[in-house]
Amino acid sequence: MPDASAPERKSILLRLDPAVHDALARWAADELRSTNAQIEFLLRRALGDAGRGGATGPLPTRGRPKKQPGS
């Protein structure tokens, strides 16, 4: 069930050269991310490096919640 407090995410169509997509997919797999999450990670890093990422904030957490101690 989605978190009601999380902002809605935007969808875009992105056309990539197949070689670029393959390289991104391999990199994402190496870092245990989806290709989509890897692209978002790289875009956020590029925005920060360019001084344009002030409003992006941290990456949203994905996946299973961490186990609580004693659970």
Per residue of the chain (71 residues), what is the pLDDT tens digit?
556 666 788 899 999 999 999 999 999 999 999 999 999 999 998 988 888 876 566 666 666 667 777 76
CA separation, residue 69 to residues 2, 15, 66 (Å): 24, 44, 9
CA separation, residue 41 to residues 5, 13, 18, 38 (Å): 21, 17, 20, 5
pLDDT of residue 68: 76
pLDDT of residue 67: 77
pLDDT of residue 24: 97
